[in-house]
Amino acid sequence: AQTVTQSQPEMSVQEAETVTLSCTYDTSESDYYLFWYKQPPSRQMILVIRQEAYKQQNATENRFSVNFQKAAKSFSLKISDSQLGDAAMYFCAYRSFMEYGNKLVFGAGTILRVKS
Amino acid sequence: GAVVSQHPSRVICKSGTSVKIECRSLDFQATTMFWYRQFPKQSLMLMATSNEGSKATYEQGVEKDKFLINHASLTLSTLTVTSAHPEDSSFYICSGLSYNEQFFGPGTRLTVL
């Protein structure tokens, strides 16, 4: 079974600075998807970024980018120019590529605090 | 992105009563919906996968007689917590599947007194 590990329970960053959240996963599959979700205090889950394992290029969405290291099974999220609105709990998630999959396996989450 | 709603957003009930939570996909048809449970400052735990017109598939350790799931239409799935007890108090989140991506509802906070 796949597992996702987020080793940082909490992180802090100064406004306008850069922070990196770590995520590692374990799988025997070669094709899969990886996601970062944001859960602000409202508790609404928001997709931040996704990465297909077969793509070597790291995904980027505005201030959010990932460092995907397939061999190391690592998938970190970098947030540049941090804003107060980035404060939230961030979850790394894995999904099998296979059709019957579609289930998301979540990590434990990292609480990100942004200081003004 | 696609929109999923949940109703109610908060519910308080007495121990022993049953509570129904609705999950609706507002602008897409969701053949598959998922139900999660989340404790404070913890991750989402998948409870069951709900498929329209068929029985739900429950994750190991989740009591199917306790958490009844019905997915009668392509836009509505319901979770009924039967004979609720204080330990069932939690945050329940649903998601709908569209083009292989899950879109999440805003969640329902259940408090059982």
Arithmetic mean of pLDDT, B91-109: 93
Tokens of B70: 């019905």
Q: Between vectors from CA B8 to CA B2 and to CA B13, what angle results, nearest 5°?
A: 150
B104: nearest CA in chain A? A45
pLDDT of residue A56: 87
Choose the most confident range, by mean pLDDT, from A8-12, B31-35, B98-102. A8-12
- Spatial distance between the Cα atoms of B54 and A61, rounded to a whole number of angstroms: 37
Q: Taking Cα atoms as reference points, which of A90, A91, A63 lies closest to residue A79?
A: A63
Indicate whether B66 pLDDT > 90.
yes
A106/B43 touch (CB, cutoff 8 Å), yes or no: yes
pLDDT of residue A61: 95
A108/B34 touch (CB, cutoff 8 Å), yes or no: no
pLDDT of residue A69: 96
B42/A43 touch (CB, cutoff 8 Å), yes or no: no
* Amino acid identity for residue B68 in this structure: L
Of B44, B93, B97, the CB nearest to A102: B97
- Spatial distance between the Cα atoms of B65 and A109, rounded to a whole number of angstroms: 30
Arithmetic mean of pLDDT, B46-66: 92
pLDDT of residue B72: 84
B104/A44 touch (CB, cutoff 8 Å), yes or no: yes
Per-residue pLDDT of chain A (116 residues; tens, 9 = 90+): 889 999 999 999 999 999 999 999 999 998 999 999 999 999 999 999 999 999 989 999 999 999 999 999 999 999 999 999 999 999 999 998 775 557 899 999 999 999 99
Dihedral (CA of B25, B40, A6, A90) sign = positive
Indicate whether B65 pLDDT > 90.
yes
Of A42, A50, A103, the CB nearest to B49: A103
Indicate whether B99 pLDDT > 90.
no
